[in-house]
Amino acid sequence: MVEHVQSWFKQNQGLAIGLVAQAVALLSGAAYGLTYMVQLENRVHTLEERGSSHLAGITTRLTVTEKETESNKARIDRVVEIMLRELPASRGQVK
């Protein structure tokens, strides 16, 4: 059995080396990906823990934008309500 394996390895040495090289490449790629994910998670954790001035600015801008959107929606609803009052058709026919 051992002789058979040795003869097969001698005949297919290039194939075996290629398979080992592919396994090493896949494992190193997986290790690199894992390292990147850990570093990214570490950065996110640090940002969440310490806070960030630019994140506070973004939050403020988002709050202002949400308020403006609500205000605009109220104005549009008011205009639609006025327009519907002036239409002879009922609301069920318009929608």
Tens of pLDDT, residue by residue over 29-65, are 999 999 999 999 998 888 877 776 667 777 788 888 9
- Alpha helices, H only, 1-95: 2-11, 13-50, 53-86, 91-94
pTM (two decimals): 0.44
Q: Is 90 helix (H, G, I), strand (E, B) or coil?
A: coil
Question: Over the stretch 5-29, which tens digit does the pLDDT of each residue have?
Answer: 888 888 999 999 999 999 999 999 9
Measured distance CA(91)–CA(95) in Å, rounded: 7
Confidence grade of residue 93 (pLDDT, cut at 50, 70, 90) = low
Measured distance CA(73)–CA(79) in Å, rounded: 10
Q: Is the pLDDT higher at 52 or at 82? A: 82
Instruction: Using the predicted structure, report yes or no on whether residue 91 has a pLDDT greater than 60.
Output: no
Measured distance CA(79)–CA(70) in Å, rounded: 14
DSSP 87: S
